[in-house]
Amino acid sequence: MQLSSTSNTSNTSNTSNTEHNVTITTRLHQASIIISLTGPLIILATLGEHLTTAEILASTTTALVLPVFFSMIIFPPAEEHGVVHEDHIKFSKYKTIYFSQIQQFNLDDYIKIRRAGNITLLLQGNRKNIEHYKAFYKDFECAIKLWQQKQIKLKEALPMQTYFYGSFKARLWGGALLAGYISLLLIAIIFDANYILVIATGGAIVPVGIFLISSVRRN
């Protein structure tokens, strides 16, 4: 989900002070989906030819169920009501996030907030609250940039805005995905596994890798 940058930091009104629905997840939530999906797919790709029908069905079911289990039960997202103020975000249940606590933030596909001694937070929307989230996103973007302007005048330390798309990290991830896929394909060929499954898996991995390598900064 891409949100374009539409705020005007010269505006004297920092936020709407309106309560919006927002979904809070963490890096653990994000990582659990990737890790739980990867294992069963590797088993299918490399050993598929040697597995029985029951084992293939079990691996496929595991690949489908594990990400949901980890993302919804072990590390479930929190549905929150958030209000952006001029120097902090106030939630209905989650503790208040003060801008002065933020070390880094990212405004690419979603709001990513990194604070010292705390796990990275991901503030996102879903199909039920997407319009609320878009308004929340704009409020936060406007508020933190106005707050940064004030901090510059006071010569205070500022949280750093980071960018993923178009960055070295994005290209590194893209290269790693392509290298991993090529390695998986070679392993399948060497061990005389069903590399047709590996090629099919590449239909999802290769485009993502190419996209990340060729990505450009969005805002």
* pLDDT for position 44: 64
* pLDDT for position 204: 73
| Between residues 182 and 36, the one the model is more confident about | 182
> Apex CA 99: angle with CA 130 and CA 157, to 5°?
140
* pLDDT for position 117: 84
Give tens-digit pLDDT for 166-185.
Answer: 888 889 988 988 888 888 77
Q: How far apart are CA 116 and CA 73, in angstroms?
A: 26
Average pLDDT over residues 10-35: 72
pTM, to two decimals: 0.66
Q: How far apart are CA 144 and CA 107, in angstroms?
A: 11
| Between residues 123 and 195, the one the model is more confident about | 123
Residue 37 has pLDDT above 90, yes or no: no
Residue 100 class from Cβ within 10 Å (0-12 exposed, 13-18 middle, 19+ buried)? Answer: middle
Asked if 142 and 14 count as a contact pair (C-beta separation under 8 A), the reply is: yes
Residue 56 class from Cβ within 10 Å (0-12 exposed, 13-18 middle, 19+ buried)? Answer: middle
* pLDDT for position 105: 93
| Between residues 117 and 111, the one the model is more confident about | 111
Average pLDDT over residues 189-198: 68
Helix pair 168-190, 195-214: axis angle to 10 deg: 170
Residue 48 has pLDDT above 80, yes or no: no
| Between residues 38 and 29, the one the model is more confident about | 29
Average per-residue pLDDT for the chain: 79
Pairing state between β 20-26 and 78-84: antiparallel
Residue 107 class from Cβ within 10 Å (0-12 exposed, 13-18 middle, 19+ buried)? Answer: buried
Residue 35 has pLDDT above 80, yes or no: no
Tokens standing for 112?
A: 């990513």
Where along the chain do its domains lie?
A: 6-162, 167-219
Asked if 103 and 89 count as a contact pair (C-beta separation under 8 A), the reply is: no
Residue 63 contacts by C-beta under 8 Å, 6 or more apart in sequence? 37, 40, 41, 44
* pLDDT for position 157: 72
| Between residues 102 and 29, the one the model is more confident about | 102
Residue 154 has pLDDT above 90, yes or no: no
* pLDDT for position 158: 76
pLDDT > 70: percent of the chain? 76
Residue with tokens 């958030």: 82
* pLDDT for position 147: 93
Give tens-digit pLDDT for 50-97.
Answer: 667 777 677 777 767 777 777 677 767 888 889 999 999 999 888 899
Asked if 211 and 174 count as a contact pair (C-beta separation under 8 A), the reply is: yes
